[in-house]
Amino acid sequence: MDHQEVTLQETIRAGASHSAQWEGWEDLSFPKPAKTRIIAIANQKGGCGKTTLVINLASALAAGGLRVLVVDLDMQQNTTTGLGISPNDIDECICDVLLNPKVKSLADIVLETGYPYLHLAPASSELSTFETRVITEIGRENRLKRALQPFLHLYDIVLIDTPPSLGLLSINAFCAAQEIFVPLQPHPFGFDGLNLLLNSIELVKEDLNPSLTLGGIVISMYDGRKKIVKEIVESVQKQPELAPLLFNTFIRQNVRITEATEFGAPIFEFDPLSLGSQDFVALAREVVERYESQRAERAQAFEGMKNRLLELNRLSREKKAESS
C-alpha cells in the first residue's frame, strides 16, 4: 500500500470519525455494493436540477452509511460550493489531476466536506482549459478513469457531476462510469438535448466503454398541481422503453432545496424534515435496491429509447402550444 493510498484512507477515517452517522439519520442504513459503483449525472440542458441531484443524492447515500466520493467536473463549481467548500479555500482541484496525472493524484486533492463518509474532488474554473490543453494527447478520454482506479476500493459509490455540454470532460465521465443518471424536468422543453446525449452515450459504449449503461431517469422539479406536468410524466410512463428506466421517486419542487443549495449545505443538514429530504432518501433507497435487479432491463430499454424521446419531445411541445 503506497503513501498516497494511506493518506486518503486516513482522510476517510477522519471524515467519518466525528460522527458514527449523520445527526438525525442514525437509523438510516444502506447495504454496501459488491463493488464500487461509478455514476455520472448528465443532462445537456441547464436548469434541470443536475447539480442539486448530485449534492443531495450523494448526501443521502452517505447518510445511509455508504462511503461516497463526489467528483465535480463542472467549471461553474456549483457542486463544490453546494457542499460547503468555498472556491477561495481550494488549492488544488480535479483539473490538476487530469492535466498532470504523473504529478498529482486524487490523494492530493480530495477534501472532507464536514459530513460523515462524504468526500469531494473539487472543481475550479481551470477546467475550462482542459480540452485545449490535452487535445493532442493520446488517451485523453480516459484520464479520469485512470485517476479513479487506484482508489475505487476506498469508496462504495462515486458520483460525477458533468458539465452542461458534451465535450471532453463529459466524455471522460462517461468513460469512467458504469451508469449514467439523467435528471429530467417535466417541461415541454425538458427533452431538448436528450437525443444528443443518448447518441454520445451510444458512441462511448461502442468505442470506449462497452459496459456503460443508462442507469435511470430521475424526474426532478416535479409539481403535480400542474396539468401539463402530470401529462408529460404520464406520457413517459406509458412508453415501454422508458418506463423501466424511470425511478418511482420524483423530486418535488421544494423551496427548501433551493435555499439549502444557496446556503452551501445538503438538504439533510439544512432541513432534515423537509419534503426534499424525504424525496432524496427515497431516491437513494431506490438507487441502492434497483441496481442489480434491473440492470438487464435497463440495457434492453436503451435500444428503443431515442425514437421515443423524439416523439415525446414533439408531443410535449404540442401540449405547451395547446395550453398557451
Q: What is the full per-residue pLDDT of the chain (324 aa) written as tens digits?
A: 455 555 555 655 444 333 445 666 777 889 999 899 999 999 876 667 789 999 999 999 999 999 999 999 999 999 999 998 988 888 899 999 999 999 999 999 999 998 889 999 999 989 999 999 998 888 899 999 999 999 999 999 999 999 988 899 999 999 999 999 999 887 767 666 677 788 888 899 999 999 999 889 998 888 878 888 888 888 778 877 778 888 999 999 888 998 988 888 898 888 888 999 999 999 999 999 887 565 555 556 665 666 666 677 777 777 777 776
Q: Delineate the domains of the chain, giving CATH numbers in brackets.
A: 3-323 (3.40.50.300)
Unique residue bearing C-alpha cell 464536514: 114
CA triplet 274, 278, 280: central angle to 5 degrees? 115
Q: Where are the beta strands (DSSP E) in the chain?
A: 37-41, 68-72, 111-112, 118-121, 157-161, 179-184, 213-219
* Residue 120 phi, psi (nearest 5): -135, 130
Unique residue bearing C-alpha cell 421544494: 254
For residue 64, the Cα-to-chain-centroid distance in whole angstroms is 17
pTM for this one?
A: 0.84
CB 62 within 8 A of CB 117: yes
Unique residue bearing C-alpha cell 445538503: 266
Report DSSP state, residue 167.
S
Reference 80, options 123, 129, 48, 111; nearest CA is: 123
